[in-house]
Structure 1
Amino acid sequence: MEPIRVLLADDQALLRAGFAMMLSVEDEIEVVGQAANGREAVDFAAAHPVDIILMDVQMPVLDGIRATEQVVQAGTAKVIILTTFERDDYLFDAISAGASGFLLKNSDPDDLVAAVHAVASGHALLAPEMTVRMIERFARQLHAEAAGSPTSPAGTPAAGIRPPAGSSQQRKLLASLTSREREVLVNVAAGRSNAEIAAGMFVAEATVKTHVSNLLGKIQVRDRVQAVVFAYESGLILPGDKPAAG
Structure 2
Amino acid sequence: MGIRILIADDDSLIRESLKIILSMNEDIEVIDAVENGLKALEVCVKINVDVALLDVRMPVLNGVEATREIVDKTNTKCLILTTFDEDDYIINGIKNGAKGYILKNNSPEKIIDAIKTVHKGNTVFQDVIMDKVKDLIGSNKDVKIKEENFSAREIEIIKAVAEGLSNKEIAQKLFITEGTVKNYISSILDKTGLEHRTQIAVSYLKGNI
TM-score of the alignment, normalized to the shorter chain, above 0.5: yes
Number of the residue aligned with 2:201: 158
Q: Deviations over 1:150-185 (max 9, x none)?
A: 977715531796455xxxxxxxxxxxxxxxxxxxxx
Number of the residue aligned with 1:136: 134
**Aligned residue-pair number:** 162
Runs of 5+ consecutive residues of structure 1 not aligned to the other structure = 165-246
Number of the residue aligned with 2:90: 91
One-letter amino acid of the counterpart of residue 11, structure 1: D
Asked whether the equivalents of residues 86 and 104 of structure 1 are also in contact (C-alpha less than 8 Å), the reply is no
Runs of 5+ consecutive residues of structure 2 not aligned to the other structure = 147-157, 159-191
Alpha-carbon distance change, 159 to 59 in structure 1, aligned in 2, over 3 angstroms? farther
Alpha-carbon distance change, 134 to 3 in structure 1, aligned in 2, over 3 angstroms? same
Q: Distance in 2 between matches of 1:5 and 1:153?
A: 41
Number of the residue aligned with 2:170: none
One-letter amino acid of the counterpart of residue 66, structure 1: E
Q: Deviations over 1:197-218 (max 9, x none)?
A: xxxxxxxxxxxxxxxxxxxxxx
Alpha-carbon distance change, 159 to 136 in structure 1, aligned in 2, over 3 angstroms? closer
Alpha-carbon distance change, 27 to 72 in structure 1, aligned in 2, over 3 angstroms? same
Q: Distance in 2 between matches of 1:160 and 1:66?
A: 19
Alpha-carbon distance change, 9 to 134 in structure 1, aligned in 2, over 3 angstroms? same
In the superposition, the TM-score normalised over structure 2's length comes to 0.66
Alpha-carbon distance change, 153 to 100 in structure 1, aligned in 2, over 3 angstroms? farther
In the superposition, the TM-score normalised over structure 1's length comes to 0.57
Q: Deviations over 1:15-64 (max 9, x none)?
A: 11100111111111100111111100011100100011110111111111
Number of the residue aligned with 2:150: none
Q: 1:218-229 residue pairs with structure 2 within 5 A?
A: none
Asked whether the equivalents of residues 68 and 99 of structure 1 are also in contact (C-alpha less than 8 Å), the reply is yes
Q: Distance in 2 between matches of 1:89 and 1:66?
A: 13
One-letter amino acid of the counterpart of residue 62, structure 1: L
Alpha-carbon distance change, 107 to 140 in structure 1, aligned in 2, over 3 angstroms? same
Percent identity over paired residues: 32
Number of the residue aligned with 1:45: 44
| Aligned alpha-carbon RMSD (Å) | 2.8
Q: 1:235-246 residue pairs with structure 2 within 5 A?
A: none
SS across alignment from 1:158: helix
Asked whether the equivalents of residues 140 and 202 of structure 2 are also in contact (C-alpha less than 8 Å), the reply is no
